[in-house]
Amino acid sequence: MREVLDAAVVQQWCRLAADALGRTRAEIDALNVFPVPDADTGTNLHITVLAGAEAVAGLPDDAGAGATWAALAQGALLGARGNSGIIVSQMFRGLAEVLGGRDEPPGGTALRAALAHAAAMARAAVAQPVEGTILSVLDAAAAAPAGRTTALAEVARGAAERARAALDRTTDQLEVLAGNGVVDAGGAGLCVVLDALAAVITEVYPDRYLVPGRIGGARPPASAPAGGRYEVMYLIDAADDTMPRLRAALGGLGDSLVVVGGDGLWNVHVHADDAGAAIEAGIAAGRPHRIRVTYLPADRRSAAAADGAAPADRAARGVVAVTSGAGLAALLEDAGARVVIREPGGDPPPIAVLLDRILEAGQEVAILPNDSDMIPLAEATAAMAREHGVRVAVVPTEASVQGLSALAVHDPVRRFDEDVSGMTHASAATRHARLEVTPAEILGRIAGEVCVRGTDLAEVARQVVDRMLSGGGEIVTLVPGAGAGAGAGAGGGDLCAMLEERVRVAHPDAVVVRYDGGQDRYPLLVGVE
């Protein structure tokens, strides 16, 4: 029997909990009816705890308790999946904050305090806590009766027993559980995790970890409360003081909101009708990544899915490109892409529109975002399309000129991976620039960075082209927009004529190609290959 919770105990607990969830996840999935009946709570908890266990396993053999707890919390945060998975990752963080910084290995008193701290942190991370869920089970595990022993084994065993009792009560606390004759799935998974902790400390290992089946006496089946159509999850690098604003923004978009983390790295989970807006809220707060968007079972499916189009009925290979301006759209369509045009003013297209275009495009689809701010949204929509059985890859094009280069090498006959790789390589080999008009000046951006400033459109354009060709180049692509400047002529003719002459004189080895883009955001796009 273990008397202290040292690094070796934590390591063994991680492995055992991950293994136990792996063996019980199907049973836990079968209980999953709240907040949506998507039957993945056990799977999500297994993935979350396994990520923490793998982070701990990657530590050197002499890693101390502090490093071990920190790795568990960080690994679970990075790998957290689903509502319950994020809450469990926050529980690990709470335990780490109390138990990880001690000079001596903690005993029962410290574990009791850590469980209370973890329960409070987990509840605070949920925007609208609901009783009868994993939060209620964790609260009960942490609520040790006064006067009980402080021996580590008794504290761990007592926490597991109280959690089991609380799990049984969840059916009476939440109508949807009673109506379906089940206990809370997240709470059941937490019980498995706490049972594993008690087993490691007491060194009494059960033959199997119990997961309750459906219970008798259930009322007529009930549905979970209606919520958002999409589950949106992402990690976000953001300053801690931006989180209240992000929570408020996401709280206005949906429900089942959980935000956990700290020290500049956060994990976000929300159910929302507008997945794009939920992602954009993250972009406004920091740098979201590892974005996952999943249709929930009660979703309104896209028109393509509603028509019953199976993957076998679709074309074999397709490319979807996002752009602004009728001219650019025509160019991309002529090159073989299905096009989604951005909203007026340059706003991203609705995520449902982009998803429909992907589902129409084929069994294998490459997405060309053609702007850096579209890449996260494209990644999120790709994840949604995969739920429909489509194989999707995002080619990270940051400009329409890069998209044109990618389409130039697109070959629907070769293997999908090779095709995506070829398009990615071709787009990356195309240097890109754009001109932006602000109230005060004209900006010349090369690869997104402001390199030239001025008040004369033609002069800024000249300097941008000269800079781009200073490192060499064979083909210069000019795409004038609707705002190519006063006196530029139809389609930016005067501006492009000036640039063509400049290239002919100063860079005689380069060839100029011009396409009228018609975009309203940028008066000129430039590509150099």
Question: What is the full DSSP assignment across 349-366?
Answer: PPHHHHHHHHHHH-SEEE
Q: Is the pLDDT of residue 360 over 90?
A: no
Q: Is the pLDDT of residue 211 over 70?
A: yes
**Of 78, 73, 75, 77, which is closest to residue 93 (Cα–Cα)?**
73
Please give the pLDDT value at position 397. 93
CA 457-463-468 angle, 5° bins: 125
**Per-residue pLDDT tens for 145-182?**
765 668 899 999 999 999 999 999 999 898 888 888 88
Q: Is the pLDDT of residue 498 over 70?
A: yes
431-528 CATH fold: Hypothetical Protein Tm841; Chain: A;domain 3 (3.30.1180)
Among 56-65, 191-200, 345-354, 432-441, where is mean pLDDT lowest? 345-354
Please give the pLDDT value at position 79. 87
- Higher pLDDT: 218 or 69? It is 69
Please give the pLDDT value at position 462. 92
Tokens standing for residue 53: 């266990």
pLDDT band at 488 (very low <50, low <70, confident <90, very high): very low
- The stretch 489-503 carries a mean pLDDT of 72
Please give the pLDDT value at position 483. 59
Among 122-126, 152-156, 315-319, 481-485, where is mean pLDDT lowest? 481-485
Q: What is the spatial distance between Cα 197 and Cα 297, in angstroms, rounded to a whole number? A: 34
Mean pLDDT of the chain: 84
SS3 state at 476: strand
Please give the pLDDT value at position 465. 92
Class of residue 422 by CB neighbours under 10 A (exposed 0-12, middle 13-18, buried 19+): middle
Q: Architecture of 309-428 per CATH?
A: 3-Layer(aba) Sandwich (3.40)
**Of 338, 314, 322, which is closest to residue 389 (Cα–Cα)?**
314
What is the separation of C-alpha 300 from the centre of its chain, rounded to a whole number of angstroms? Answer: 21
Please give the pLDDT value at position 242. 93
**Per-residue pLDDT tens for 436-475?**
888 889 999 998 889 999 998 999 999 999 998 888 888 8
Q: Is the pLDDT of residue 321 over 90?
A: yes
Please give the pLDDT value at position 326. 77
Q: Is the pLDDT of residue 355 over 90?
A: no
CATH assignment of 7-202, among 1.25.40.340, 1.10.3720.10, 3.40.50.720, 1.20.120.1200 = 1.25.40.340
Tokens standing for residue 119: 């329960």
- Higher pLDDT: 167 or 494? It is 167
**Of 100, 204, 194, 206, which is closest to residue 156 (Cα–Cα)?**
194
Please give the pLDDT value at position 33. 79
Beta strands across the sheet bearing 511-514 = 449-454, 442-446, 431-437, 524-528, 475-480, 511-514
Residues 182/189, Cβ–Cβ less than 8 Å:
no
Element (H, E) at 313: none
Every domain of the chain and the residues it spans: 7-202, 230-295, 309-428, 431-528
Q: Is the pLDDT of residue 345 over 80?
A: no
Please give the pLDDT value at position 237. 93
Where do runs of H (alpha helix) occur along 470-506?
Answer: 493-506
Q: What is the spatial distance between Cα 114 and Cα 235, in angstroms, rounded to a whole number? A: 25
Please give the pLDDT value at position 91. 96
Please give the pLDDT value at position 453. 92
* Beta strands per DSSP E along 123-248: 230-237
Tokens standing for residue 492: 């930016």
- The stretch 2-15 carries a mean pLDDT of 90
SS3 state at 369: coil
Please give the pLDDT value at position 486. 40
Tokens standing for residue 378: 């494209």
pLDDT band at 364 (very low <50, low <70, confident <90, very high): very high
- Higher pLDDT: 358 or 490? It is 358
In the block, residue with structure tokens 């997405």: 367
The single-letter code of the amino acid at 356 is D
**CATH class for the region spanning 230-295:** alpha beta
Please give the pLDDT value at position 267. 93
Please give the pLDDT value at position 490. 38
Please give the pLDDT value at position 315. 55
Please give the pLDDT value at position 295. 65
Q: Is the pLDDT of residue 249 over 90?
A: yes
Residue 29, CA distances (Å) to 21, 84, 132, 231 in order: 11, 12, 17, 17
Enumerate long-range contacts of 302-306, CB under 8 Å, 24 or more apart. 302/352, 302/355, 302/356, 302/359, 303/356, 304/356, 304/359, 304/360, 305/359, 305/388
- The stretch 477-503 carries a mean pLDDT of 69
Please give the pLDDT value at position 387. 80
Please give the pLDDT value at position 266. 93
Q: Is the pLDDT of residue 309 over 50?
A: no
- Higher pLDDT: 230 or 143? It is 143
- The stretch 8-36 carries a mean pLDDT of 87
- Higher pLDDT: 197 or 106? It is 197
- Higher pLDDT: 17 or 495? It is 17
